[in-house]
Amino acid sequence: MTRKEFNDWRAYHCETFRGVEERFIKLDQPQQQKTLARWEKIVGFYSYDDCVAATDDLHARGELLAFDQHPKAIADLAQKFFDRRQRPSRPVLGEPAGQSDIEQARKSVCEHYGFDSWAEYKAEMRRRRRIAEITRDPPTRRKPRTDKKMGESECRTFWRQMAQKLSPKR
């Protein structure tokens, strides 16, 4: 916000909140300069339109604020208006909800891996996780066989049974 825009906004704000204008008038000249510099430092980062909208919103709420709390309240509200303008893809109260960021991410994952739906992708990931858990051989899960080693045919039988347990039932 430029200095002229700040002065225009301050005039609008003082017109809206008469108590703020009276408080400015009561301050002596050096104190008025310091206060204006502090207000400009707090509110100066935001656009004139956001500050005017914040003033209107604050006035519509009807909250009573101390003189020193006005610039902080305006800055907070102006930041909200700025955020709403910067993120139009997120649904704002009163606007029709579009496709959210999460839905877009899910759609791109499904397209990348060749699945038709998110549910299909999740089911496949669950199935793979189960296979990974079974194929891990932590010492707590199964006691090591000391009497004889598993032969090649027993190994094939074991893996065939595991595949049958994990395959989706049709």
Q: Which of 14-23, 75-84, 129-138 has the lowest mean pLDDT?
A: 129-138
- Shared domain for 71 and 118, answered yes or no, is no
d(CA 162, CA 160): 5
- Shared domain for 75 and 105, answered yes or no, is no
* Inside any domain, residue 148: no
**Residues in CB range of 5: below 8 A, 6 or more apart:** 47, 48
What mean pLDDT is predicted for residues 124-128?
A: 82
- Residues of the chain with pLDDT > 90, as a percent, come to 1
* Inside any domain, residue 159: yes
Q: What is the pLDDT of residue 145?
A: 54
* Inside any domain, residue 92: no
Contact 55, 9 (CB under 8 A): yes
Token representation of residue 68: 């020193």
Centroid of chain to Cα 27: 42
* Inside any domain, residue 9: yes
Q: What is the pLDDT of residue 143?
A: 53
Q: Which of 66-75, 94-103, 110-119 has the lowest mean pLDDT?
A: 94-103
Query: pTM of the predicted model, to two decimals?
Result: 0.49
Q: What is the pLDDT of residue 129?
A: 80
b/e sequence 11-41, b meaning 16+ C-beta within 10 Å: eebbeebeebeebbeeeeeeeeeebeeebbe
Structural domain range at position 49: 3-86
